[in-house]
Amino acid sequence: MTAGLAEDRPHAPLIIDVAGTALTDADRRRLADPLVGGVIHFARNWQDRAQMTALNAEIKSIRPDLLICVDHEGGRVQRFRTDGFTHLPTMRALGELWMRDAMRATQAATAVGQVLAGELRACGVDFSFAPVLDLDYGGSSVIGTRSFHRDPRVVALLAKSVMHGMLQMGMRNCGKHFPGHGFVHADSHVEIPVDKRGLKAILADDAKPYDWLSGSLAAVMPAHVIYPKVDKRPAGFSAKWLKETLRQRIGFEGAVFSDDLSMEAGRYIDGELLSFADAALAALEAGCDMALLCNQSVGDGAPLDGLLQGFADARDSGRWAGNLDSEARRRALLPDTAALPWAALAGSAPYCSARRTLSRDRLAE
């Protein structure tokens, strides 16, 4: 890790949530903390477009460099669904269209990316954790229709089209869940999945989209899955997966987010349940640039305050020193073009064309 970070550009590795549709005093205090690099929204933060736009404007007034994120993929994982937001299709629907007409599927995938990113950015959201690169083996309850296809070639090509559409609207992307969550049946939100395949098999199949897209992906999120033939730790806490495989072997140079550390599989390392702060520190040490802790602001927010205090203590004691490269990767995810307001977006040719494409293929409401 890099010591002696510039005072005006500290490493801000923590992504946290806020409690509701407007900021509380506690939210404002936490977002002003220099350790916080971003905020992730959920459905509870949504009332309508005007409210979301105002909420995000206030967040940016506190810290213009904060990365405002959301899990907004399409299908069942779409946080904002009313007040004009397009109901985006599942990624499986794009894979099914591919089997009928590959070129129309890539066109539709680009349209999904354009609509997804354009609508979010019009409301002040910077970044979505999409697309999913997991393969569809047919048995995963948590991945399921979120996956494009079983074939990694189809996954990579459709994902690249979605990513292209997002980028056209000024939004970066995040491939997940490295090296692959689709093979295991267990849901890492409530238990710890174990994938007993070896490294060679995983690299030849599930991880192939990350290899093929390594020059196009802006960010990657590892899986809360243990692959015991590679490492006893879940991928998000494994230097073997993140530093040796993702960085060195595949050559990925973008940002790496941990998955949500509040998930059941998010804090178990070597059989021990860690505190949120220790889990976040372990994720960063393994090779993540940023650590997410979600859904902890509701109520008194004590888990978030404990996380911030634990990181401050680690910094002051020298246990954690921050990383300039990680901070540069975080800042690179911020949009570098102005977003179109909703009225201008709704009248823009690219957005209208994308909506027509989705309507033609009966992929959106």
Q: Which residues are catalytic?
A: 189, 259
Choose among 291, 295, 299: nearest CA to 274: 291
Rounded distance, CA 175 to CA 107, Å? 19
- Neighbour-count burial of 305, counting CB atoms closer than 10 A to its CB (0-12 exposed, 13-18 middle, 19+ buried): middle
The helix-helix angle for 276-286 and 302-317 (nearest 10°) equals 50
For residue 193, cis peptide bond before it (omega within 30 degrees of 0): no
Rounded distance, CA 229 to CA 87, Å? 40
In DSSP terms, 101 is beta-bridged to none
Go through the chain and tell me how many residues it has: 365
Quick one: DSSP state of residue 88? P
The H or E element spanning position 78 is: strand 77-78
Contact 347, 110 (CB under 8 A): no
Measured at the CA of 35, the angle between CA 32 and CA 36, to 5 degrees, comes to 60
Q: Quick check: helix, strand or coil at residue 92? A: helix
Amino acid, res. 78: Q
Q: Quick check: helix, strand or coil at residue 127? A: strand
Rg of the chain over all Cα atoms, to the nearest angstrom: 19
